[in-house]
């Protein structure tokens, strides 16, 4: 009985714990949740559907900028988020189409190109995005008298969205969508023969993953209160790739572990002054050498789950 609910219990505990923290740890926890949402999106596209995407930061930007532009003008946060998600989903579809023609490292390059061009547009379109000067004073959501401006309140808000994203991803992956994605990842030819409409599912894998990235991006903007194009470069996309692979590709628990490790590990190592980045890089290499399937292997060893894995 305890074993079955242990994963859920740990999750709830981890989710509520940061409320006891002070602002720095609370900030890191909030950031981890945002990155979790983004990692879940990428895990969908890459881990489950097998489509390599280095464009994830660009989709994140598509979520952040509407919030950043509309928020200071007094429009509700949720409106900005909705616009962002629609934009991200739309562009996910656009990027998804070339995905039909190319594979693997070629697809990686297409998505990489998209990310870089998106960054350049963001940086040079000063009239809309503020260019390199960025946009500051991004307000946090408020529902009439209820205000999420304080760090703790905003953490709860982000947590709410994260829970929604996790639940929807769980539902999606347990449905026929999930089975279709996995079929495509394993063997495209076989999937097509069996009747899986490759076109639809491949494109949707990008679009849905991008939509999640949009949600994450929208929540990211008020967390810092200031964004500039530098947050959405190729480096950021690579960071998400690392989260998903190190966590465990195509495993539901993967993004949780990946987001936590990539966000929290450098902070924990910070005590070693200048060395911590070197240690982090070393840790990445070692993790790949000894756990190429991701850290989810450790999780599996610790937790015997009688539920079927999705």
Partner 1 sequence: MTDFVQLLVAGISIGSIYALTAIGFVLLWQTSNTINFAQGEFVVLPAFAMVLFLVVLRWPFAIALVATILVSTLLLGWLVKELLVTRLLTMGVLPLVIATIGLSLFIRYSLQQFWTPLALPFPPIFPRVPIRLGTIIISWEEVMNVLLAGLVVGALQLFITRTRLGWAMQAVAQNRTLAAVLGIDVSRLVTLTFVLNAALAAVAAILIAPVYLVKYDIGIGLGLKAFYAAIIGGFNQIRGALLGGLLVGVVETFSAAYISSQFRDAFALLILLAVLLLKPEGLWGVKEEWAS
Partner 2 sequence: MRTVIALGVAVIAVVAIAHVGSTQDALKLAIVAEITGGGAPSGTMWRDGVLLAVEDINKAGGVMGRRLETLVMDTQSDPPTSVAVMRRAINERPLAIMGTVYSSSTVANMEVARQAGIPQISGSESVLVVQKGNPNIFLTSFSQQVGFAKLVKWLVEDLKADKIALIYVNNAFGRGGREMFLKFLKDRGKSVVADISTEVQQADFTPELTRVRASGATHVMIYNHEEENARMMIQIRKLGISVETVGDNLCAQTTIEAGGEALNGAKCHVPMTALSPVPGMVAVGRKFQEKYGRVPDHNAFKAYIGTHLVKAAAERVGALDQAKIRDCLHNNLFAAAEEPGLLMDMSMDDKGDADRSSCIVQVKNRKPEVVKVLSMLAGPYTRRTCR
274 binds partner 1 (CB under 8 A): yes
Any idea what DSSP says for residue 74? T
Q: Which is nearer to partner 2, 160 or 230 (CB)?
A: 230
Q: Which of residues 121-140 bind partner 2 (CB under 8 A)?
A: 123-124, 131-134, 136
Residue from 15, 102, 156, 265 that binds partner 1 (CB under 8 A)?
Answer: 102
For the chain, helix (H) and strand (E) counts, in that order, are 14, 4
Q: Closest distance between partner 1 and the C-beta of residue 287, in Å? A: 8
Is the separation of the CB atoms in 85 and 212 below 8 Å? no
Q: Closest distance between partner 2 and the C-beta of residue 265, in Å? A: 11
93 binds partner 1 (CB under 8 A): no
Q: Which of residues 119-178 bind partner 1 (CB under 8 A)?
A: 120, 124
Q: Which of residues 183-222 bind partner 2 (CB under 8 A)?
A: none
* Alpha-carbon separation of residue 263 from 19, 36, 124, 246, 305 (angstroms): 18, 10, 29, 12, 26
Cα dihedral: 225, 230, 234, 238 (round 10)? -50
Q: Which of residues 254-293 bind partner 2 (CB under 8 A)?
A: 264, 267-268, 270-271, 273-274, 276-277
Cα gap 66→81, rounded to integer Å: 7
Any idea what DSSP says for residue 195? T
* Alpha-carbon separation of residue 44 from 143, 168, 172, 236 (angstroms): 31, 12, 10, 18
Question: Where do contacts with partner 1 occur on this chain (CB under 8 A)?
Answer: 98, 101-102, 104-106, 108-110, 112-114, 116-117, 120, 124, 234, 238, 241-242, 245-246, 249, 274-275, 277-278, 280-285, 288-289, 292-293
């Amino acid at each position: 009985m305890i074993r079955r609910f242990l994963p859920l219990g740990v999750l709830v505990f981890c989710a509520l714990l940061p409320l006891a923290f002070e602002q720095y740890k609370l900030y890191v926890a909030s950031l981890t949740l945002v990155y979790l949402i983004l990692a879940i999106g990428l895990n969908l596209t890459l881990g489950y559907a097998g489509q390599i995407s280095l464009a994830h930061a660009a989709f994140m930007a598509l979520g952040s900028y509407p919030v950043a532009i509309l928020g200071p003008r007094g429009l509700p946060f949720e409106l900005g988020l909705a616009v962002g998600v629609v934009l991200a989903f739309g562009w996910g579809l656009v990027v998804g189409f070339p995905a039909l023609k190319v594979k693997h490292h070629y697809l990686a390059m297409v998505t990489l190109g998209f990310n870089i061009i998106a960054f350049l547009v963001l940086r040079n379109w000063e009239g809309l995005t503020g260019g390199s000067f960025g946009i500051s004073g991004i307000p946090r959501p408020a529902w009439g008298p209820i205000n999420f401006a304080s760090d703790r309140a905003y953490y709860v808000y982000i947590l709410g969205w994260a829970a929604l994203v996790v639940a929807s991803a769980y539902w999606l992956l347990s449905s026929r969508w999930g089975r279709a994605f996995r079929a495509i990842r394993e063997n495209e030819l076989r999937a097509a023969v069996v009747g899986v409409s490759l076109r639809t599912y491949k494109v949707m894998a990008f679009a849905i993953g991008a939509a999640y990235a949009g949600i994450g991006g929208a929540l990211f903007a008020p967390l810092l209160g200031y964004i500039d194009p530098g947050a959405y470069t190729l480096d950021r996309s690579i960071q998400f790739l690392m989260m998903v692979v190190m966590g465990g590709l195509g495993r539901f628990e993967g993004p949780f572990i990946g987001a936590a490790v990539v966000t929290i590990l450098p902070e924990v190592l910070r005590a070693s002054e200048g060395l911590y980045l070197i240690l982090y890089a070393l840790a990445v290499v070692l993790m790949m050498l000894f756990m190429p399937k991701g850290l989810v292997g450790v999780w599996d060893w610790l937790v015997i789950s009688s539920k079927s894995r999705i």
